[in-house]
Chains A and B, each alone.
Chain A
Amino acid sequence: MTENSLDTAGRQAAVDMTEGGRAAVSASGATASSDTVDAPAPSTVAGPPPGTDGRPPRPTLGRRAVALADSLWRPALVLAALFAAWWFVAAQEYVPNYLVPTPGQVWTTMTGQSSELARHTVVTLYETVLGFVLAAALGLAAAVAIAYSRTLDKALYPIVLFAQVIPKIAIAPLLVVWFGLGLTPKVILAVLIAFFPVVISGVAGLRSTDPELLDLAATMGAGPWRTFRKIRFPNALPHLMAGLKVAVTLAVVGAVVGEFVGASEGLGYVLLLANGNLDAPLLFADLILMSAIGIVLFVLVEIAEALLIPWHASRRAGVSLTTS
């Protein structure tokens, strides 16, 4: 199972990376290099070993699919077991059905009210995505400001850290009072909750640039923009993507909580209705849809990460839905 051991190594590197350990990454790079390409004497060996193009073979689509299946079958099995247990408990009515409905009842509700549920799902999805995109943009801007300006670092960073202590869910009622029942308070709440991990990861990423690379950039006569674009930003991406993955799941929480406090549509609103009517099947259906939004958005960020930083240690093992 080389595929497996590689995957574990990559994961370990990813964990070290998020803990701010750049040394760990370079160490894993060093071990990787020792068994990939050895330095040939230029006078004796002119080229790389034939056929390899000097690099290990890229995983093909088929091998990636196998690796994906390999990484998914265990969690799938656990999920199936939980699902079976739910079904059994509900079908035998160990717990009354108005508390725990059977999967069949939930399915009937979902298909029966599909157009209504779809409308509410779109509302929540829109709030979440808008909140996430804004949080990502604002968070990155703040991270750049903090990483580049010592004054802003001293002025802003403590406030950002402190603001995280305020329970933002408690602000929700105030936001509704200020901005009404529409889209705005939900988006603001999503932004407030998702902003923090983006800033923290962005600052950590931008600060992790090798100081020697920055010295080098200075002797290359490049301005700050070019240095940012070519060196600092790509270097910060692994950190930043980890932060974005956390942020996207938090954005869902923000949107739903915003709907709890005051809304006329959205999955959070439906959840309150279902709860009030003791409509357990609808409640379960609603929960499933909320989770689906979170999962789909998370996977989208994962895909973006795979496209943006295929070179990074956490990505080298090929398929990974498990880096965080």
Chain B
Amino acid sequence: MTAAPARAGTAIGMSGVTVRFSSRRSQTTALDDVSLDIQPGEFVTIVGPSGCGKSTLLKIVAGLVQPTSGEVSLLERPVRGPQKQIGFVFQKAALLEWRGARANILLQAEMRGMDRAQAARRADELIEMTGLTGFEKALPHELSGGMQQRVALCRALLHAPPVLLMDEPFGALDALTREQMNAELHRIWRETGTTVVLVTHSIAEAVFLGTRVVVMSARPGRIIRTFTVELPTHRDYAQVMSDPRFDRLATDLRGLLGSAAANH
């Protein structure tokens, strides 16, 4: 990973993180004693059955949810409250309906009070990188789902965050667009060297994108296993899909996820 920023230590550190949500009637444990260290430049994908607390895990890293117990650090600083050094992409594009694509991307700059000219230049770079050229002024409802998600990705990358958190970003897209977006995200990750944590339901997506795949169990969410993906850093979608190493890992994951779901 030559593109990784020359930073010592961990990008994200979690030790013994437990999250309980209590309502009047019951108490649910969303995450149970989760420990995970992520190095700068890594692309970690998290797979697990629905409701295993994967999204909660991302929100904890972002500082949007406070863990009931355990320690979380981002870029070697303890996480207290919402973190600014991240980019966040949700399953829904969550764009502002009244703004064109470019203005939606620039929301990031306006909210942060970034330098206007610099942000505009960066936005144009990202628009070109993600193939949004020509759609700068298009309103969200005029864009397809894949295009909307590209805009959301550009918005998340505008301030060049050292850490990018993605919560099933391509879950709502059709299979073809999804593959395309996977290939693009892989390229963007190589070019920017950002640390990425991506939550997904798709085993293929997890293996193709990840340098490491974390498998979680159903509620309460625990890490059952972590795989290092033995694939080259530079990946081609078609090649990876026919690679025997991909097959092996995907089969392992499928088996593991099957049992993880069945046991609960």
Whether both chains belong to one complex is answered with: yes
> Which positions in A face B, CB cutoff 8 Å?
29-30, 32-34, 36-43, 45-48, 53-56, 210, 212-213, 215-222, 226-227, 230-231, 234-235, 309, 311-313, 316
On whether the beta carbons of B64 and A220 are closer than 8 Å, the reply is no
On whether the beta carbons of A54 and B138 are closer than 8 Å, the reply is yes
CB-defined A-B contacts under 8 Å, sample of 6: A54-B142, A212-B90, A215-B64, A220-B111, A222-B112, A309-B98
On whether the beta carbons of A221 and B94 are closer than 8 Å, the reply is no
Contact of A42 among B90, B98, B112, B184 (CB under 8 A): B184
Query: Is residue B107 contacting chain A, with contact meaning CB distance below 8 A?
Result: yes
Question: Which segment of B18-26, B126-134, B197-205, B253-261 sits at the interface?
Answer: B126-134
* Cβ contacts under 8 Å, A309 to chain B: 98
Contact of A47 among B82, B133, B138, B142 (CB under 8 A): B133
Most buried by B among A47, A215, A219, A234: A219
On whether the beta carbons of A39 and B108 are closer than 8 Å, the reply is no
CB distance from A317 to the nearest CB of B (A): 13
A215 to B148, CA, bound (A): 18
Contact of B131 among A40, A221, A222, A311 (CB under 8 A): A40
CB distance from A88 to the nearest CB of B (A): 49
A234 to B95, CA, bound (A): 13
A39 to B147, CA, bound (A): 6
Query: Is residue B96 contacting chain A, with contact meaning CB distance below 8 A?
Result: yes
Given A219-B82, A219-B88, also A33-B137 (CB < 8 A): no
**Which residue of chain B has its CB nearest to the CB of A34?**
B144
Contact of B144 among A38, A53, A215, A313 (CB under 8 A): A38
On whether the beta carbons of A216 and B88 are closer than 8 Å, the reply is yes
On whether the beta carbons of B84 and A210 are closer than 8 Å, the reply is no
Query: Is residue B140 contacting chain A, with contact meaning CB distance below 8 A?
Result: yes
Within 8 A of A (CB), among B23-77: 59, 62-64
* Cβ contacts under 8 Å, A38 to chain B: 144
CB distance from A160 to the nearest CB of B (A): 27
CB distance from A271 to the nearest CB of B (A): 43
On whether the beta carbons of B88 and A54 are closer than 8 Å, the reply is no
* Cβ contacts under 8 Å, B137 to chain A: 53-55
* Cβ contacts under 8 Å, B177 to chain A: 39
Query: Is residue B135 contacting chain A, with contact meaning CB distance below 8 A?
Result: yes
The 7 closest A-B pairs by CB, nearest first: A42-B131, A220-B111, A39-B146, A218-B82, A222-B111, A48-B134, A47-B134
A220 to B94, CA, bound (A): 14
On whether the beta carbons of A221 and B82 are closer than 8 Å, the reply is yes
A77 to B180, CA, bound (A): 55
On whether the beta carbons of A54 and B92 are closer than 8 Å, the reply is no
On whether the beta carbons of B142 and A56 are closer than 8 Å, the reply is yes
On whether the beta carbons of B111 and A33 are closer than 8 Å, the reply is no
On whether the beta carbons of B180 and A41 are closer than 8 Å, the reply is yes
A54 to B136, CA, bound (A): 8
**Which residue of chain B has its CB nearest to the CB of A26?**
B92
**Which residue of chain B has its CB nearest to the CB of A312?**
B97
Query: Is residue B125 contacting chain A, with contact meaning CB distance below 8 A?
Result: no
Query: Is residue B226 contacting chain A, with contact meaning CB distance below 8 A?
Result: no
Given A40-B131, A46-B131, also A221-B97 (CB < 8 A): no
On whether the beta carbons of A218 and B64 are closer than 8 Å, the reply is yes
A29 to B147, CA, bound (A): 14
On whether the beta carbons of B112 and A33 are closer than 8 Å, the reply is no
Given A212-B90, A230-B107, also A54-B134 (CB < 8 A): yes
Contact of A33 among B141, B180, B184 (CB under 8 A): B141
On whether the beta carbons of A215 and B88 are closer than 8 Å, the reply is yes
A30 to B132, CA, bound (A): 19
CB distance from A84 to the nearest CB of B (A): 44
CB distance from A225 to the nearest CB of B (A): 11
* Cβ contacts under 8 Å, A45 to chain B: 131
On whether the beta carbons of B144 and A39 are closer than 8 Å, the reply is yes
On whether the beta carbons of A36 and B142 are closer than 8 Å, the reply is yes
Q: Mark B96-108, 1 if CB is under 8 A from A, else 0.
A: 1110000000011
Given A55-B137, A212-B90, also A221-B144 (CB < 8 A): no
**Which residue of chain A has its CB nearest to the CB of B98?**
A311
On whether the beta carbons of A37 and B82 are closer than 8 Å, the reply is no
On whether the beta carbons of B86 and A219 are closer than 8 Å, the reply is yes
A30 to B147, CA, bound (A): 12
A313 to B98, CA, bound (A): 10
**Which residue of chain A has its CB nearest to the CB of B131?**
A42
Contacts A33-B148, A212-B90 known; 19 new A-B pairs at CB < 8 A: A32-B141, A33-B144, A36-B142, A37-B135, A37-B138, A40-B131, A42-B131, A55-B137, A56-B142, A212-B94, A215-B59, A216-B94, A218-B64, A219-B84, A219-B88, A221-B112, A226-B111, A230-B111, A312-B98
**Which residue of chain A has its CB nearest to the CB of B161?**
A219
